[in-house]
Amino acid sequence: MKNCLLIRYGEMSLKQRNRNLFEKRLRQNIARILSPSSQVTLEQSHQRLIVHGPLDQLEALAPRLTETPGILSVRPATILPLNWEEMLAKLLEILKKFNSDPQTFAVKTQRSDKRYFMDSSSMNISLGEFIKNEKPQWTVHLKKPDLLLRFLVTPKNIYLSTTDLQGIGGLPVGTANYLALLLSGGIDSPVAGYCMQKRGVPILAIHFHSFPYTGPQSLNKVKDLRHMLGNYQKHLPLYIVHFTDIQEAIKKFCKPKYGIILARRMMMRISENIAKQRRCLGLITGDSLGQVSSQTLENMNVIGSATTLPIYRPLISYDKQDIITIAKKINTFRISNRPFEDCCSLFIDKETKTRSTIKSAEQQEKSLNIDELVEEACQNIEIF
């Protein structure tokens, strides 16, 4: 008997007129994660994808598919014939080889082909009786069975699955336009990038590096974070901005309590420059309301006013523990926790202004040659 993976998607099914474009992008994203030697093939069938291939390759592929944005669930399945008697004969073989012995079971049938001679309810009853005859020790329990046997009827085959692997849902990466992520070495910004990727947004990453105050370990940490986020899209460029001269100028000419706010405003200006060159439609930050002094509503307003691009803050209402939970799930938490500081943490003043105004920030910036500092930083960007 042949095996396959049944891929279900959620929100994509609502995209009536554009659904074909979403499905095409999802197929491309799945093809990207296949190895060159893979014998796996993809089939589009009735608002789902079916992945065919050798069992060992399907088993290796299934966990990766569950981490692919746009996929709601992955169900390893056995392909059965449409003919009722032939299907029951194959089902009997499966039942005889069944390794586990659940106490309770249930049958759930779905017909994408309504022309099949038996409706779903009748199939549930008939299949349930057949299984009960072969496994009399199993008890039917419809609400919370130990084993749920799902039968999917299509025009070509019947598919039997007993496992449902939960995917991350969302939309396929690449169905929206690019955004630029301000990627620090902390916990929050990688999670913010992931949240936007999950909504179909491909990202590029911008990191502000303050050598010699931050060393190569700090930079390597950011590269590793970029690598983890790169698992969700085809290519994720990393822009390294050398930020030392700007921070030293702010420290020399401006009041310490405005330091982090002015530094973040400069980051917005530089990020806008990069984003517009790459035709990004906005910026992403890992801001969470009230988490640190620069993330009060007043300070976020002041920082955001330095750019004309929209700023997307997907974590704005998240608790820190919520963010940590996602970071652990996407394997960025341990990387972020490496003991190497980023440029922001080095120049934070204990008396940072928590309720600054645009007017007061602009007053402080009169001591800086903003255009020259931004231009110099943009001319010395490294791209990885």
Q: What is the mean pLDDT of residues 75-101?
A: 93
Peptide bond into 155 cis (omega under 30): no
Query: What's the CA gap between 196 and 379, in Å, rounded?
Result: 28
Output the six-digit token pair for 367.
């001591």
21-49: per-residue pLDDT in tens? 899 999 999 988 887 778 999 998 877 89
SS3 for 167?
strand
148-191: per-residue pLDDT in tens? 999 999 999 999 999 999 999 999 999 999 999 999 999 999 99
Task: Write the CATH number for 292.
Answer: 3.40.50.620
Residue 99 lies in a domain: yes
Confidence at residue 126, expressed as pLDDT on a 0 to 100 scale: 97
Confidence at residue 13, expressed as pLDDT on a 0 to 100 scale: 64
For residue 111, the cross-strand partners are 153
Which has the minimum average pLDDT: 118-122, 293-297, 308-312?
293-297
Q: How confident is the model at residue 14 (pLDDT cuts 50, 70, 90)?
A: low
Output the six-digit token pair for 293.
């002094």
Q: What is the mean pLDDT of residues 330-336?
A: 97
Q: Where is the domain boundary, 123, 141, 169? A: 169
Residue 280 lies in a domain: yes
* 126 and 198 share one domain: no
159-185 burial by CB neighbour count: b if 16+ within 10 A, else e?
A: bbbbeeeebbbbbbbbbeebbbbbbbb
> Which among 71, 381, 116 has a CA at the least distance from the CA of 243?
381
Residue predicted with more confidence, 16 or 196: 196
Altogether, the residues listed in the chain come to a count of 384
* 209 and 267 share one domain: yes
Contact 210, 346 (CB under 8 A): yes
Confidence at residue 346, expressed as pLDDT on a 0 to 100 scale: 56
Confidence at residue 47, expressed as pLDDT on a 0 to 100 scale: 77
Confidence at residue 213, expressed as pLDDT on a 0 to 100 scale: 82
* 197 and 152 share one domain: no
* 135 and 65 share one domain: yes
* 137 and 209 share one domain: no
Residue 340: partners with Cβ closer than 8 Å, 6 or more residues away: 185, 214, 215, 217, 218, 221
Q: What is the mean pLDDT of residues 133-142?
A: 94
Residue 235: partners with Cβ closer than 8 Å, 6 or more residues away: none
Residue 56: partners with Cβ closer than 8 Å, 6 or more residues away: none
Q: At residue 4, does pLDDT exceed 60? A: yes
Q: What percent of the chain has pLDDT over 70?
A: 96
Q: At residue 96, does pLDDT exceed 60? A: yes
255-279: per-residue pLDDT in tens? 999 999 999 999 999 999 999 999 9
Residue 8 lies in a domain: yes
Q: At residue 313, does pLDDT exceed 80? A: yes
Q: Where is the domain boundary, 119, 149, 169? A: 169
Domains held by the chain: number: 2
Residue-averaged pLDDT of the chain: 93
Confidence at residue 342, expressed as pLDDT on a 0 to 100 scale: 65
Which has the minimum average pLDDT: 89-93, 157-161, 311-315, 350-354?
350-354
Q: Which amino acid is at 371?
A: D
> Which among 14, 299, 302, 319 has a CA at the least distance from the CA of 187?
319
- pTM attached to this predicted model: 0.92
Q: Where is the domain boundary, 142, 169, 196? A: 169
* 157 and 204 share one domain: no
Query: What's the CA gap between 66 and 86, in Å, rounded?
Result: 32
Output the six-digit token pair for 372.
């020259």
Q: At residue 254, does pLDDT exceed 70? A: yes
Q: What percent of the chain has pLDDT over 90?
A: 82
Contact 181, 205 (CB under 8 A): yes
* 226 and 374 share one domain: yes
Q: What is the mean pLDDT of residues 215-242?
A: 95
Query: What's the CA gap between 238 and 140, in Å, rounded?
Result: 55
Confidence at residue 100, expressed as pLDDT on a 0 to 100 scale: 78
Confidence at residue 269, expressed as pLDDT on a 0 to 100 scale: 98
* 57 and 150 share one domain: yes
Q: At residue 12, does pLDDT exceed 80? A: no
Task: Write the CATH number for 134.
Answer: 3.30.2130.30
Q: What is the mean pLDDT of residues 208-236?
A: 93
Q: At residue 92, does pLDDT exceed 90? A: yes
* 151 and 190 share one domain: no
Residue predicted with more confidence, 354 or 287: 287
Give the domain extent around 363.
179-383
* 134 and 264 share one domain: no
DSSP E strand stretches across 60-169: 71-80, 104-111, 139-140, 147-153, 158-161, 165-169
Residue 174 lies in a domain: no
Contact 356, 261 (CB under 8 A): yes
Query: How crowded is residue 313: how many other Cβ atoms within 10 Å of its Cβ?
Result: 20
* 82 and 210 share one domain: no
Which has the minimum average pLDDT: 96-105, 121-130, 217-226, 263-272?
96-105
* 20 and 156 share one domain: yes
